[in-house]
Amino acid sequence: MKVVEVDLDDRTYPIYIARGLLDQGELLRKHIPGKTALIITNETIAPLYLDRCLHSITASGDIKAEVVILPDGEQHKTLEVLQKVWDKALECRLDRNTTFIALGGGVVGDMTGFAAAAYQRGVHFIQVPTTVMSQVDSSVGGKTGVNHPLGKNMIGAFYQPRCVLIDTDTLNTLPDRELASGISEIIKYGLIRDAALFEWLELNMERLLQRNPEAFTYAIERSCINKAEVVAADEKEGGLRATLNLGHTFGHAIETCTGYGAWLHGEAVAAGTMMAADMSLRLGWIDAELARRIHALNEKAKLPVTPPPGMTARQFQDTMAVDKKVQDGKLRLILLRGPLGNCVITGDFPKQALDETLQAFCQT
């Protein structure tokens, strides 16, 4: 079993990575301090893994577990759906010492985290991510929340789990599209801070797409180490942490404008990363060879390299204007700068470069 620590003083927590962890009840129970738990999962994951998760939690007889099953998909990542979690928790009289357990992908994890952060002003919380996206990115670091019709993840909290339990076997049931979506975040770590990981991906993408367990364990561990380092250095996103949003400002605009759930998060991030790379190239901050390699790796991963055909430059501009990185009216972007593995967060670029990129990627 691999263990990666997220170092946050008194809220430090471990990420466990191995095959078959879902059945290691003792490990899970070690992180449940009270006598009750609430598993939050979705309609897709429940038939696959809920029984095993429930059994692991309740096997010792000390812990009583309740369950909420949410509808599946980014379009259901709303306050209305979140209320069902709180309704259930109160109906079951779960107290402040209870533990909410997220069993599922990024949507389940983000919603469970915020549900836990706000229920009685904060209860315990464990992540059991079952998708590549959530295993390499969203389950680690404590960003939680729901979407608003006007912007993604606009309502939420920074709230850290007590542990993250990654059973890599759960990837066996993941649809191909979801698999590729998660890989876009692994590519991201390579681009912003880990050139060796990017080069490894160039050589091993086929093995990932074939779900080779060793390849996945390596990619997940390496991603979690990158994420843990960034989060430990800048938990509340004062600066460095924002670099994890490479491609996300463009990507969130795609998700918001196409309607949440039409494109998967990682698909939107992949197209967004292409746009950020294009802009970096126009600014002369990266060379054409790096831009070409990014394009090639995304194609190899079967990820989109352009936004959806109907999207306009104006739609990008309007949605990006409410991005969380906007500061006193100024849009800030994560752009690549220098050799592979380097990036900057900056609001200091000629507006023309952004306009040109939007024109190049949008037909209207």
Closer Cβ to a copy of itself, 175 or 347, answer by number: 347
Confirm or reject binding of residue 145 to a copy of itself (CB under 8 A).
Answer: yes
Please answer whether residues 110 and 146 qualify as being in contact, where contact means their C-beta atoms are separated by less than 8 angstroms. Answer: yes
Least distance from a copy of itself to the Cβ atom of residue 124, Å: 12
> What amino acid is encoded at 187 in this protein?
I
Count CA atoms closer than 13 A to 290's CA, side-chain side: 25
Is 122 a residue that touches a copy of itself (CB under 8 A)? yes
**Three-state DSSP state, 191:** helix
Binding positions for a copy of itself, 154-193, rule CB under 8 A = 154-158
Report whether 9 contacts 25 (CB < 8 A). no
3-state secondary structure 13-52: EEEEEECCHHHCHHHHHCCCCCCEEEEEEECCCHHHHHHH
Provide the minimum distance between the beta carbon of 232 and a copy of itself in the complex, in angstroms, as a whole number: 18
User: Judged by CB under 8 A, which of 109, 151, 161, 247 binds a copy of itself?
Assistant: 151
330: β partners: 327
Among 14-22, 140-148, 197-205, 284-292, the segment contacting a copy of itself (CB under 8 A): 140-148
Q: H helices of 153-287, where? A: 176-193, 195-209, 213-233, 248-258, 265-282
Spatial separation of the C-alpha atoms in residues 225 and 302, rounded to whole Å: 25
CB of 172 or CB of 327, closer to a copy of itself: 327
Least distance CB 148 / a copy of itself (angstroms): 6
Per-residue contact string for residues 20-39; x = within reach of a copy of itself by CB under 8 A: --------------xxx---
Which one, of 277, 352, 354, 353, lies nearest residue 321 by Cα? 354
- Say whether residue 329 binds a copy of itself (CB under 8 A): yes
Which residue's CB is nearer to a copy of itself, number 162 or number 282? 162
91 lines the binding site for a copy of itself (CB under 8 A):
yes
d(CA 142, CA 236): 9
Stretch of 46-54, 114-122, 124-132, 218-226 lying at the interface with a copy of itself (CB under 8 A)? 114-122
How many positions of this chain bind a copy of itself (CB under 8 A)? 41
90 binding a copy of itself? (CB under 8 A): yes
Q: What are phi and psi of 38, to 5 degrees?
A: -125, 115
Catalytic residues: 121, 143, 185, 227, 237, 241, 245, 248, 252, 265
Decide if residue 121 touches a copy of itself (CB under 8 A).
yes
CA distance 283 to 278: 9
> Which of these segments, 86-94, 216-224, 258-266, 304-312, binds a copy of itself (CB under 8 A)?
86-94
Please answer whether residues 122 and 97 qualify as being in contact, where contact means their C-beta atoms are separated by less than 8 angstroms.
Answer: no
The nearer residue to a copy of itself, 284 or 329, going by C-beta atoms, is 329
> Which tokens is 125 given?
């919380």
Is residue 328 part of the contact set for a copy of itself (CB under 8 A)?
A: yes
Q: Write out the residues near a copy of itself by the rule CB under 8 A.
A: 34-36, 79, 83, 86-87, 90-91, 93, 95-97, 114, 117-122, 143-145, 148, 150-151, 153-158, 236, 321-322, 324-329
